Amino acid sequence: MERRVVITGMGALTPLGLSVPAFWGGLKEGRSGIDRVTRFDATGFESMIGGELKGFTPEPYIGAKEARRMDHFIQYGVVASEEAAALAQLRNSGIDGDRMGVIWGSGIGGIETLTSNHEALITRGPRRVSPFCVPMMIPNMAAGVIAIRLGARGPNLATVSACASATHAIGESFRLIQDGAADVMITGGSEAPICPFAYAGFCNMKALSTRNESPQIASRPFDAGRDGFIMAEGAGAVILEELEHALKRGVQPLGEIVGYGASADAFHITAPSPDGNGAARAMTAALNEAGLRPVDVDYINAHGTSTQLNDKMETAAIHTVFGDHARALLVSSTKSMVGHLLGAAGAVELIATTLALAEGWVHPTMNHTEPDLQCDLDYVPNHGRAADIRIALSNSFGFGGHNVSLAVKRYE
């Protein structure tokens, strides 16, 4: 009998707030977490706006000395995982640590650490590079630190697939539990890209919005006036668990993952395949694994980046997979309010999807004021909507042509 995989814990750090309730509350209000960048002087950059974690401190989870030895992306991963672990009652639960693992995603890892230590090397010499530079910088270290803190001695690895990183991590964790290799997986992703080096790279690609005078309305997924995505930082963590294992512990499931699909465009290093073929194959694979028909799906939490190419591609892919049913779907983009958390995006969006199913309420796609003829679905524009939704997809697509889709059910 196939093992069922449920979500028993969630944690989030986003520009809307530093917990899952704060994040969900901001989405329900239709509030924007985007503002002018304060982490560095962005004068002279084409894009000067972003989604920062306002008021973040690693305490009480991480002491000051320990925090200095962690890049921000590691700190974010630890704090989000601690919130998720508390909800799932992982500590002092008697769980066999050998059967609990961690898979964690990050698109670019410790880029702040890399750039600051490179500057120290160039300006002050090789002895000024921190001995903690490498373990602070490498993308797998969040997975390692989370495992150390929570006693997870099972499978442990990092996924690095650009903006699909966290969703790949969650999908692979789902697969390990489904296949019997683990009973509990701590998974998700974190990103800390608010630094001059990352901004310069993305600005020069012409990937970021330049609506610097109106940051709160700059992220406009599926709107005809969209002009690029908004860089954001944060983390999302979910605890996945085999159903019977969770019920024996007396933990209430929050939702159930029932399918995982992944594919490659094999098309271009940054641009998605215009016809959406790769994204369509990922969604179809998730539905097929779950034994679902397209008409069974009620809601899609879209990748919805607010870029011209991605939003047209994703719309085309949805039409391909769902045919006439595409018009009946509710589709919304979390990025319209939090911006793009890069390798962490898929995790916070899965959390939004799970809460939408549990509460019967779909958050809006904000700033949708000018329809695009090539983006012609129901994007729940500007106002959230109560809806009896039972099955949803959560999509993530990354540079390099990485496509991932998770099929999620309301737990029953």
Catalytic site residues?
163, 303, 340
Closest to 40 (Cα-Cα) out of 236, 211, 200, 201: 200
**Distance from C-alpha of 369 to C-alpha of 216, rounded to nearest angstrom:** 14
Coil, helix or strand for 231? Answer: strand
Bridge-partner residues for 189, per DSSP? 105, 236
Query: Could you give the C-alpha distances from 129 to 44, 70, 133, 145, in angstroms and in order?
Result: 28, 15, 7, 22
* Rounded distance between C-alpha atoms, residue 302 and residue 330, angstroms: 10
Q: Determine the length of the chain.
A: 412
- Residue (of 29, 24, 4) closest to 14 by Cα position: 24
For the record, the structure tokens of 373 come out as 């003829």
Using alpha carbons, select from 84, 6, 27 the residue that is nearest to residue 359. Answer: 27
Burial (CB count <10 Å: 0-12, 13-18, 19+), residue 126: exposed
Find how far residue 278's CA is from the centre of its chain.
19
Is residue 156 within 8 Å of 147, Cβ to Cβ?
yes
Question: Which helix (H) or strand (E) covers residue 24, if one does?
Answer: helix 20-29
- Of 362, 24, 51, 355, the C-alpha closest to 218 is 51
Write out the E strands in 107-219: 156-159, 184-191
Of 174, 156, 159, nearest to 106 (Cα)? Answer: 159
Whole-number Å distance between alpha carbons of 212 and 353: 30
